[in-house]
Amino acid sequence: MEESVIREIYKLKTERNAVILAHSYQPPEIQDIADHVDDSLQLSRIAASADASVIVFCGVRFMAETAHILAPDKTVLLPEPKAGCPLADCIDVPSLRSIQAAFPNSLTVLYVNSPAEVKAESYACCTSANAFEVVESVPSDSVIFAPDRNLGMFISRRSDKEIHVWNGACRTHALADIQDIKKHIEEWPDAELLVHPETSPEIWELADAILGTGGMIRHIGSSRATRFIIGTEEGMVYKLKTLYPDRKFIAAGKIYCPNMKVTTLPKILDSLRNLEPVVLLDPAIREKAYAAVARMTEITG
Ligand code: CIZ
């Protein structure tokens, strides 16, 4: 059954001139059929430069929106429209405007894990990899950072700027449990512990490196260690095993994002058949959100 679905997906992919993009947190069977597996921003950049007219985005809504922001001339499909992100949804336009009114001299730096409407109200976007660089480069000593409080705190500890951090958090990274991690460290004393900055600061204290998913991939590539404990969504462990089959990876705990697991092969097939659900934004919002994403690119090159 699965094989015939995969065959049909490949056939329709060619007929539709489509490219399938999967986030590194997607289930193994989705990563296996994707043309590219990466973090959200990298995938959106691939969407923009791909020689394809249809982008099938296997991830969550804010990621597909970012692909549409960068590739407005292409049809962006999100096979499961219910794939949301509670972190992104913990901020909306009225609440951002109220904090902006409270700190009128601050510029807003917004993590890409946020809704397009809110990106449109911000000065610059950032990812977990470049958040510090973006905050340091914006032309103000006072910054509003949203929506992830742990990433905001991670930057605040390193920056001399005044940073007003939004109190949002990723429910998935909140599942990273310090006792589980300590047990893994005991069991694998020679392993490097890599954790995502969306985990809590008490977990950072134990880590060898605090990195986004792209940073983890690069770090492992240049590390001499052969074993790694991975403190982010467990799909990443599968991605790392395919990239580095000669190294050992262990999930730091049951760090599982239900929204990342709602995309299925039959849903991808339906989406390619019917060319829906399409992710579309109001053009005025898309343009303003584009300006915030473009500013990040100007800063980080
Ligand atoms: O934005 C992304 O891709 C996420 C959710 C994580 C990361 O650090 O790459």
Taking only the tens place, the pLDDT of each residue in 167-178 is 999 999 999 999
**Cα 128 to averaged position of ligand 1 atoms, centre (Å):** 7
pLDDT (0 to 100) of residue 120: 98
Distance in Å, CA 1 to ligand 1 centroid = 32
- CA 14 to ligand 1 center in whole angstroms: 28
In this structure, the residue with its CA closest to atom 8 of ligand 1 is 212
Radius of gyration of the chain (CA): 19
Q: Are 222 and 276 in the same domain?
A: no
Q: Which of 21, 25, 40 to mutate to test the pocket of ligand 1 (most atoms within 8 A of CB)?
A: 40
Q: Are both 208 and 147 inside the same structural domain?
A: no
pTM reported for the whole predicted model? 0.95
pLDDT at 29 exceeding the cut of 80: yes
* Phi, psi (degrees; rounded to nearest 5) at 12: -65, -35
Who lines ligand 1 at CB under 6 A? 23, 39-40, 112-113, 127-128, 196, 212-214
- Mark whether 13 and 148 lie in a shared domain: no
Which residue has the least CA distance to atom 1 on ligand 1? 40
Domain match, 47 and 98 both: no
C-alpha 74 – ligand 1 centre gap (Å):
23
Give the ligand 1 atom nearest the CA of 85. Answer: 5
Residues 227 and 97 in one domain: no
236 with 214, same domain?
yes
- Residue 228 sits in the same domain as residue 80: no
**Same-domain status, 148 and 293:** yes
Do residues 93 and 78 both lie within one domain? no
State in Å: Cα 40 to ligand 1 middle: 6
| 275 shares a domain with 222 | no
Which range of residues forms the domain containing residue 194? 173-256
Judgement on whether residues 60 and 11 belong to the same structural domain of the protein: yes
Kindly give the number of the ligand 1 atom that is closest to the alpha carbon of 112.
1
pLDDT confidence bin for 97, thresholds 50/70/90 = very high
Q: What is the pLDDT of residues 152-161, one digit of tens each?
A: 999 999 999 9
Task: Report the CATH number that the domain containing residue 18 is assigned in CATH.
Answer: 3.40.50.10800
Task: Please say if the pLDDT value at position 301 is more than 80.
Answer: no
Q: How far is the CA of 4 from the centre of ligand 1 (A)?
A: 31
Does 198 score more than 90 pLDDT? yes
pLDDT band at residue 126, thresholds of 50, 70 and 90?
A: very high
Q: Which of 42, 110, 127 to mutate to test the pocket of ligand 1 (most atoms within 8 A of CB)?
A: 127
- Say what the pLDDT of residue 123 is: 98
pLDDT at 252: 97
How far does residue 214's CA lie from ligand 1's centre (Å)? 8
Average pLDDT on 258-280 reads 98
Q: Each residue of 52-74: pLDDT tens digit?
A: 999 999 999 999 999 999 999 99
- Output the average pLDDT for the chain: 97
φ, ψ dihedrals at 278, nearest 5°:
-90, 140
The tally of domains found in the chain comes to: 3
Are 185 and 203 contained in the same domain? yes
* pLDDT for residue 47: 95
Res. 299: pLDDT tops 90? yes
| pLDDT for residue 231 | 98
